[in-house]
Amino acid sequence: FLEPLELCYRSLCACGDKPIADGSLLDFLRQVSTFGLALVKLDIRQESDRHTDVLDTITTHLGIGSYAEWSEEKRQEWLLSELRGKRPLFGSDLPQTEEVADVLGTFHILAELPADCFGAYIISMATAPSDVLAVELLQRECHIKKPLRVVPLFEKLADLEAAPAAVARLFSIDWYMDRINGKQEVMIGYSDSGKDAGRLSAAWQMYKAQEELIKVAKHYEVKLTMFHGRGGTVGRGGGPSHLAILSQPPDTIHGSLRVTVQGEVIEHSFGEEHLCFRTLQRFTAATLEHGMHPPISPKPEWRALMDEMAVVATKEYRSIVFQEPRFVEYFRSATPETEYGRMNIGSRPSKRKPSGGIESLRAIPWIFAWTQTRFHLPVWLGFGAAFKHIIQKDIRNIHTLKEMYNEWPFFRVTLDLLEMVFAKGDPGIAALYDKLLVAEDLQSFGEQLRQNFEETKRLLLQVAGHKDVLEGDPYLKQRLRLRESYITTLNVCQAYTLKRIRDPSFEVTPQQPPLSKEFSDKEPAELVQLNRGSEYAPGLEDTLILTMKGIAAGMQNTG
């Protein structure tokens, strides 16, 4: 990649313009020679099903069967036989759908660009060893000279449970052990596991999965780096980075870890030089502290209690989110999720697939929608049922829960973050959205959820031994109190804007304050530039976007 620059330099010198060549161009040549063209290495991420579709197309074209229909054992056997061989799998005559061409096109781009531009190849929704071997084979077939390290991402609850066994099977393959040279990275997904089973069950399963993965790595003498796929909100694993690191299981860090930094957190943590330095200090200090003074391992009775609570919490969460017949209808009525999906304000499409319910919805809009209405349902749903079950089973369990809160960093951080979410929540605001936007026959369902909110909050304070939320953090409590009136105003404005979008016949008669002379003689169109391409009435989409941004800024969370 230096050749074009060197050609420019030689050409200028040959034409007698050496003073020009020795100026900015020479400086740039030196910079590129020293640092390369890539400032930050880019990770590539793709879903496992997309790789399966590519390999299914190849095997079908070769006439050896359907890869998608093969068992895991047969997939591994075929992939390893191809990886150990040297024959090319496909040529230019391979029939390709748009999706297959997109995946193969990505691999071809990886082959063309310098290797130092890229970091890891992350496989979303990974479930089995064949998912990793498939990427290794596709890298070879697309002639990537320096293959990217392959990182499986385990996201859903069942996948996290099966992750240790899948990684152990991978490490038992001689070809793969020769390939990784004693180092492996495994990513765990906070977002989709929380959407799948609720925050409590997801957090506990990720804790246990990390413990087991470390045991597997030690057995096979592999240095394992955990990659934490955390989002900005509590519902997606967000929270203070220092506390999050210190609450990880013992022996799971060993001086190295990777963490995603997403959305509004980038600006908040790295937007200015002093903020960036302080954030890196926190990560470094917490990583060193975790290694020098590891957190305690949970007692057997704590584990038993957590296992039982997780089962109850998962059942409660799924019974409402996935099994309640009209939950999807309520969710889309009571939140701005539908409008969010239509507007181009997210980092990626709001759904993985155009059709489907909550399962196909990405975690970001799922969390974002509930954050906008200040109800935060994905974060707290399931906690109340779990607390209630354990306390009713044996009243002495309340003392065990308090002991866990006071002595176990993982449990304390989990509950402290939940308490912060309750401090930001307001069921009264959620009730306003229901009143304006939800059908009358669904209003009682919303009321039940708000009662659940209040009961969960009461039980949380009982376990934590607090009289009020955030009594241990008066600084944050005061900050939230100062923002409260502004966010509430934006919520009311958003709720009525959504009502006007969904019901064009609805009219609001506002009590307009007198305008200053500077503005009173001007037409509204002169005061604000509206989005004329909107499918809604003039000004409504602009208002909705502004309220979304304002509420997100006030809550300091988007998705």
CB 200 within 8 A of CB 105: no
List, by residue number, the catalytic residues.
Answer: 195
Higher per-residue confidence, 267 vs 427: 427
Instruction: List C-alpha distances in Å: 434 to 87, 368, 442, 450, 468.
Output: 62, 17, 9, 11, 26
Instruction: List C-alpha distances in Å: 543 to 195, 491, 523, 531, 547.
Output: 29, 11, 17, 10, 6
Q: Is 233's pLDDT higher than 70?
A: no
Nearest 10 degrees: Cα torsion 465, 470, 471, 474: 160
- Note the pLDDT of residue 524: 54
Q: Is 525's pLDDT higher than 50?
A: yes
Range with the poorest average pLDDT among 17-31, 226-240, 455-469, 482-496: 226-240
What mean pLDDT value characterizes the chain?
A: 88
- Note the pLDDT of residue 418: 92
Residue % of the chain over a pLDDT of 70: 89
Q: Mind giving me the DSSP string for 324-362?
A: STTHHHHHHHHSSHHHHHHSS-SSS-SBSSSS-SGGGB-
In this structure, what DSSP letter does residue 429 have? H
- Note the pLDDT of residue 135: 98
pLDDT band at 263 (very low <50, low <70, confident <90, very high): low
Q: Is 8's pLDDT higher than 80?
A: yes
| Predicted structure pTM score | 0.85
Half-sphere exposure of 132 (CA within 13 A, CB side): 27
Q: How far is 324 from 379, CA to CA, in rounded Å?
A: 18
Q: Is 484's pLDDT higher than 70?
A: yes
Q: Please give the angle made by the CA atoms of 26, 32 and 33, to the nearest 5 degrees.
A: 90
Token pair 């009143």 is at which residue? Answer: 435
Q: Is 225's pLDDT higher than 50?
A: yes
Q: Which amino acid is at 500?
A: R
Q: How far apart are the first and last CA of the chain?
A: 38
- Note the pLDDT of residue 33: 86
Q: Is 559's pLDDT higher than 60?
A: no
Q: Which amino acid is at 336?
A: P
Q: Is 328 left (phi over 0), alpha (psi -120 to 50) or beta?
A: alpha
- Note the pLDDT of residue 254: 81
Higher per-residue confidence, 325 vs 353: 325
- Note the pLDDT of residue 350: 47
Q: What is the mean pLDDT of residues 44-68?
A: 96
Helix (H) or strand (E) holding 130: helix 129-141
pLDDT band at 348 (very low <50, low <70, confident <90, very high): low
